[in-house]
Each structure stands twice: as C-alpha cells, then as structure tokens.
Amino acid sequence: MLVPGAAAGAALVLEEPLSLWGGLDPVTGEVIDRRHPQVGETVRDRIVVMPFGRGSSSASSVLLEAVRLRSGPAALLLAEVDGILALGAVVARELYDRAPPVAVVPAEDYGRLETGAVVTLSPRGTVTIETGES
Amino acid sequence: MSVELSDRDRARHGGEEGPAAAMSMRILVAMAEVYGAERLLDVSSAHIDGCLYHGDSGLDFAERLVAGGGRVAVPTTLNVGALDLLHPENFRGSPQRAERARRLMSAYEAMGCQPSWTCAPYQAGHRPGLGEQVAWAESNAIVFANSVLGARTNRYGDFIDICAALTGRAPACGLHLDENRRGERVYRLSGLSPRLLASAVLAPVLGYHVGADCGREVPVIVGLPAATDEDFLKALGAAASSSGSVALFHAVGVTPEAPTLEAALHGEAPTAELELTADDLRATADRLSTVPDGEIAAVALGSPHFSLAEFERLVPLVERHAPAARVEFVVCTHRLVLAAIEARGWAELLREAGVRLVVDTCVVVTPILRTVRGALMTSSGKFAHYTQSNTGLEVVYGSLEECVRSAAAGRVWRDPELWGSG
C-alpha cells in the first residue's frame, strides 16, 4: 500500500489515466477533461480505479484541495505506483489528518474492478469486491 | 522504517532543525517508501511548482513550512505563480483569489527561493549539468532537465519539491538511477520532409503522439536532425508530458544520453520499434484542435515560456501580419526574456501591434485572457491540451506562422505545404 488506510464505497473505473490538473474539478469532484472517457463522473467518496495518473505534477495539489473540500475519492486503486497521486494523500494526512488511502492492486484484481461494484479496502491493503446483484 | 537514513536525516526527522525540516523529512520518507527507495540522496538544486495557487490547501502547506522555520538548503527556482506581478492588472479573478495567490508566492520567496516565476528555468540560467542529481517539479521542466540537459530528476510535484529544497535530499530511485534511464520504446520517423523535420510545428505533435503512446516506457526517437534546436526539444517534451507521463526521452544523435541508438538502449533490445509517418503525425496534429478551422478569438503563445529565439521568429511575422484588433494576442514569457526583448525594442514593437506580454504566469493556469468564448489558436502543444478544460475556450493548433497569420485574418490560415511528405 502506498498510503495506508481503509475505505469502502462504489468503484469508479477510469479507463484511461487522468490528469487531475485540468481534468478534475476539486470543488465538485467531477471529471472535467472532455477527452477522457469518464468525463462528467464524480470521484467524490468513490473508490477510484485508474492505471496511473498522467500530465502535470500539479495533480497532487488538486487531490489535496479535493480532500480539503471533502470532494476527494474514498480511495485510489492503481495498477502501477504513482508518486504524484500518493504525495497528495501523504500531504493531506500531514495537514488535515485525513487522506484517501492509495494502493497498487495486483493485475488479477485490477481487471475485476468494475464501475458501480462495491469495493472494500482493508487496512492491510486487501481489496474485496462485491458485484451487487449477480 | 525501511528507508536507510543518514545521521543528519535522522536529526532532521527528529525535529533538531525545526518543524519545517521535520515535516519535510516525514514526507520524503513516506515517499521513499512509496517508491521503494532504500535511501535518500543529495540533490544540488530544486525547482518548485508549489507556488501556483490552486486553493487554500497549498497556502496552508506553505505557510506551515514558513512558520516552522523553513529555509532552502540548495539553490531553488520558482515555477509560475497565479499572478503576473509586473502587470497585476492582467488578473481577471477575484481580489480575494489574487491576495491568496500573492501570499502563496511570498511564502515561497520567504523560504529563500529565487523569484524566477518561470516554467522554463532551464532558459533562465538554471541549467544543471549531465549526471547532476536535482529535484525538479513542473512536468515540462522535468522532462527537459532529464532529456536535454542529462540531469537526473524524478517527476517531483507540488509539496515534495519544497521538501527536497529544504533538506537537499530526495528518495534514491527512478530516474536518479542509471538503470531506469534506459530507452525502451523506439519511434522511427519515416518519410518526413526536410522542411517539416526542421519546423517547430512538428515538435509538439511528435511529443503529443509519443507521450500518448509510450505509457511508462522511456521513448527513443530516431530520425531527428542533429541540428535540432533546444526550443524544439522543449516543445516536444512539454507535449509528451501533457498527453502522457513522460519524464525522459532520448533523441538519437541529439540528446546527451543518446549519441547512438545502442547507447540510448543501454545495449539492450527495445520493447517495441514503431514507424511514424507524416500521415500519423498529421492525424495527431488534428487531435490537438477541438474545433475545425474557422474564426478565432484569441492567440496564445509561450507554454513553456517563450524564449528569446522564439521571439526572434515571432517579431518579423508580426511585423508582416499585424493581429486584427478583434483577436486577443498574448505571449507568455519570463522576466529575463522580457528584459532582453525590451532592450532590443521588440517588446514595444509587439505591444504597438496589439500583442500583450505576460510574465510570471501563463494563460492556462490563471484567469488572464479577456476572451471568454470562441476559439484560441496556439503553437503550443501544452496550451492545446489544457486550454479547453482550464479556460473553457475551444482550441486550434497550428504553426507559429499559422497562428500569426490567423490572428491577422481573424480566422484560421493554413500553410498548405506544411504537412506534405517528402
């Protein structure tokens, strides 16, 4: 786990890497990059699944600001280590004593994560997926 | 903790050098763990992106460091802020936001950072040498430092940049280490005309294409002329780090770690070899625009900040094709270049032609544009990428000459020969 913690919520799978700077509105938590397939979705309180971040290093600021405004994700589940996203969460923990946990998920679990599934992240980093009605 | 710390690291971590140094060490150690670094290493300079106001959280952070006695331990330059401090009337946001932005910029100056206010510190006298370990933020500056200068930095961002500057330390991992600088994915330019290869319009398009395609692999570009200039490489890297997460590229025969393809690949086989034709690149150029050619309301140049050499190309174009009064024309640069073009009389010439010169900041990071609807034309891949989401304007990408002649006409002018294959 990159930034430890526990979380639960509905998953939002971002099919492509998102640049938070210019791609996420920290006030509303909405994806605003019109070139991104999940534009219009909100990350607020969701378990956000993405391969890794992209673009500007200001992404950590946008994440921190979203945490300050309580519009941030419940957790970030990544396919690969992303320091810029982890950093936003590390600083949030320093400044505000709350932070979305950030974890790298093994490939076999990552592939099973689907938008809308209820996902639980344990403090040890175990991901449990409840598919809902199936 | 699993990260091996020096005695001084431990002293700082324990608070012996004040609360700011202690918080910096806690963050550096947490990030070293994130990256799986075994230790920290010394860095000789830093470039800070955290001075751009995104909201009160950044101000909370910087002011906590100032209150905790934070002083930089190594020479440190500052990236753009949200205000043009020389022309504060340019700011279109609320007075309250301007006040917060100014407070943030002051906080970083108070920690001993140089008020350089540029995203192109490498063209403002901050040029670490080949192999030098540094901690830089700002995606275009990172890719330039690694690729063009051969200095070594990871993709530092807001917060960790100042932590490294306050301690002179950074996690020993990633692009700081030889083995992670190996080129992996090879792109061969194929059938491009000599004119296109020598044209600045190619750089952002090539960078945008490669950045979107290479994932996390280090790209190697084969086929650029040996005489490829620094502004071309700057534009290539800026676009590659907008469309993707590129922090290092090699251009064979051009960049310092790639005298040959074999050297760029560290003697190993590439993961893939791809051919890029003029048609591929023209398709990418089309993707940089969000609307078809038509009327334009604004032109913005200078992301990364316009260099003296770029002004040298712009000035004669503006002399021949003055912008129409209804088209807003803005060029973003830094104070050293502004002083140089003032001295040459170019600044006055441009202003008289209706061109607004902006320093310390740029049009996609802060509300400066007067234009509120319509299309903005740019020769910058980074502006093309961020204009729509950050300003609400549509965007049209074109060469420098296309931008200037379009501004004169009030609608997009195209150079019909530009993308022809040779």
Q: What pLDDT is attached to residue B404?
A: 98
Contact A22 B389 (CB under 8 A): yes
Per-residue pLDDT of chain B (422 residues; tens, 9 = 90+): 589 999 999 999 999 999 999 999 999 999 999 999 999 999 999 999 999 998 999 999 999 999 999 999 999 999 999 999 999 999 999 999 999 999 999 999 999 999 999 999 999 999 999 999 999 999 999 999 999 999 999 989 889 999 999 999 999 999 999 999 999 999 999 999 999 999 999 999 999 999 999 998 999 999 999 999 999 999 999 999 999 889 999 999 999 999 999 999 999 999 999 999 999 999 999 999 999 999 999 999 999 999 999 999 999 999 999 999 999 999 999 999 999 999 999 999 999 999 999 999 999 999 999 999 999 999 999 999 999 988 999 999 999 999 999 999 999 999 998 987 54
Q: Which of B184, B175, B72 is nearest to B133 (CA)?
A: B175
- Chain B neighbors of A21, CB-CB under 8 A: 54, 386
CB pairs under 8 A between A and B: 123
Q: Is A50 on the interface with B (CB under 8 A)?
A: no
Chain CA centroid to CA B363, Å: 14
Candidates B36, B61, B243; nearest CB to A91: B61
Q: Is B106 on the interface with A (CB under 8 A)?
A: no
Chain B residue with the nearest C-alpha to that of A60 = B158
Contact A67 B57 (CB under 8 A): yes
Pairing of strands A118-121, B250-251: unpaired
CATH fold of B7-178 reads: Aconitase; domain 3 (3.30.499)
Q: What pLDDT is attached to residue A55?
A: 64
Q: What is the dihedral of CA B2, B7, B11, B14, to 10 degrees?
A: 20
3-state secondary structure of B86: coil
Q: Torsions phi, psi of B395, nearest 5?
A: -135, 145
Candidates B57, B154, B244; nearest CB to A54: B244
d(CA B232, CA B212): 18
What lies within 8 Å, CB to CB, of A68 at 6+ separation is A92, A95, A96, B55, B56, B57, B60
Contact B157 A26 (CB under 8 A): no
Candidates A23, A64, A86; nearest CB to B57: A64
What lies within 8 Å, CB to CB, of B31 at 6+ separation is A83, A86, A87, A90, B160, B171
Residue of A33, A56, A67, A102 to mutate for B, most B C-beta atoms under 10 A: A56
Q: Is A3 on the interface with B (CB under 8 A)?
A: yes
Chain A nearest CA to B371, separation (Å): 19
Extract long-range pairs of B264-272: CB within 8 Å, 24+ residues apart.
B264/B182, B264/B183, B264/B220, B265/B182, B265/B183, B265/B184, B265/B186, B265/B220, B266/B179, B266/B181, B266/B182, B266/B183, B268/B182, B270/B183, B270/B184, B270/B185, B270/B186, B270/B220, B271/B184, B271/B185, B271/B217, B272/B185, B272/B186
Chain CA centroid to CA A106, Å: 16
CA distances from B400 to B72, B341, B359 (A): 39, 18, 20
- Chain A neighbors of B31, CB-CB under 8 A: 83, 86-87, 90
- Chain A neighbors of B138, CB-CB under 8 A: 56-57
Cβ atoms of residues A61 and A21 within 8 Å = yes
Residue A132 burial by CB count (10 A; 0-12/13-18/19+): exposed, middle or buried? exposed
Chain A residue with the nearest C-alpha to that of B140 = A56
Chain B nearest CA to A78, separation (Å): 13
Q: Is the dihedral of CA B290, B292, B293, B298 positive or negative?
A: negative
Return the CA Rg of chain A. Answer: 13
The list of chain A residues with pLDDT below 50 reads 133-134
Contact A60 B159 (CB under 8 A): yes
Q: Is B144 on the interface with A (CB under 8 A)?
A: no
Q: Which of A87, A98, A37 is nearest to A62 (CA)?
A: A87
- Chain B neighbors of A53, CB-CB under 8 A: 245
Q: Is B291 on the interface with A (CB under 8 A)?
A: no
Question: Which pTM value belongs to this model?
Answer: 0.91
* DSSP letters spanning B18-66: -HHHHHHHHHHHHHHHHHT-SBEEE-S-EEE-TTS-SSHHHHHHHHHHH
Angle of CA points B284, A80, A59, to nearest 5° = 65
d(CA B367, CA B83): 9
Cβ atoms of residues A4 and A123 within 8 Å = yes
d(CA B373, CA B388): 11
> Tens digits of per-residue pLDDT, B17-48?
999 999 999 999 999 999 999 999 999 999 99
Helix axes A83-96, B19-35, angle to 10 degrees: 140
Residue of A16, A36, A50, A91 to mutate for B, most B C-beta atoms under 10 A: A91
d(CA B102, CA B108): 10
Helix (H) or strand (E) holding B382: helix B381-391
Contact A54 B31 (CB under 8 A): no
Longest alpha-carbon distance in chain B: 65
Q: Is B54 on the interface with A (CB under 8 A)?
A: yes
CATH of domain B298-409: 3.30.499.10
> Tens digits of per-residue pLDDT, A98-113?
999 999 999 999 999 9
> Tens digits of per-residue pLDDT, B354-399?
999 999 999 999 999 999 999 999 999 999 999 998 899 999 999 9
d(CA B379, CA B405): 12
Q: Is A33 on the interface with B (CB under 8 A)?
A: yes
Q: Which residue in A19, A56, A122, A134 is the catalytic one?
A: A56
**Which part of chain B has CATH 3.30.499.10?**
298-409
Annotated active-site residue A56? The verdict is yes
Q: Torsions phi, psi of B287, nearest 5?
A: -70, -20
Q: Is A28 on the interface with B (CB under 8 A)?
A: no
- Chain A neighbors of B60, CB-CB under 8 A: 68, 95
Helix (H) or strand (E) holding A91: helix A83-96
Type of residue at B86: L
Residue linked to tokens 């891949």: B381
Chain B nearest CA to A134, separation (Å): 34
Q: What pLDDT is attached to residue A22?
A: 85
3-state secondary structure of B347: helix
Cβ atoms of residues B381 and B204 within 8 Å = yes
Helix axes B400-409, B308-320, angle to 10 degrees: 30
DSSP label at residue A39: T
Q: What pLDDT is attached to residue B389?
A: 86
- Chain A neighbors of B137, CB-CB under 8 A: 57
Angle of CA points B122, B128, B130, to nearest 5° = 120
Contact A26 B54 (CB under 8 A): yes
Q: What pLDDT is attached to residue A134?
A: 45
Chain B residue with the nearest C-alpha to that of A95 = B61
d(CA B204, CA B237): 8
Cβ atoms of residues B236 and B207 within 8 Å = yes
Q: Which residues pair with B378 in a beta bridge?
A: B397
